[in-house]
Amino acid sequence: MYTIQIAALNDPLRARAMVADLASAGFAAYLVEPPPSDPDGPFRVRVGRFPSRTLAQQTAGALESRLNQKLWVTRSK
């Protein structure tokens, strides 16, 4: 599975607000919190779970245009 990473933020409130904004705009946004082994790690804002990299990249391209920022396609676990 693949996902689109929108941001990696140190501020959990800002990350949660970004997830809420994306979700209210109709995107399948979610938050990946830092693991217990790295409590100071970033909060990752992601969108979707895609079965192929190609589909994730197509969606990322559309999101990049809408959000006016560079996005990353990553493998999800």
Reading the chain (77 residues) residue by residue, the pLDDT tens digits are: 999 999 999 999 999 999 999 999 889 999 999 999 998 999 999 999 999 999 999 999 989 988 899 999 999 87
Coil, strand or helix: which one is 54?
A: helix
CATH number of the structural domain spanning residue 33: 3.30.70.1070
Domain of 38 in residue numbering reads as 2-75
Cα(57)–Cα(15) distance, rounded to whole angstroms? 22
Write down the residue that tokens 């197509």 correspond to: 58
Please count the structural domains in the chain.
Answer: 1
- Residue corresponding to tokens 């079965």: 51
- pTM (whole model) above 0.95: no
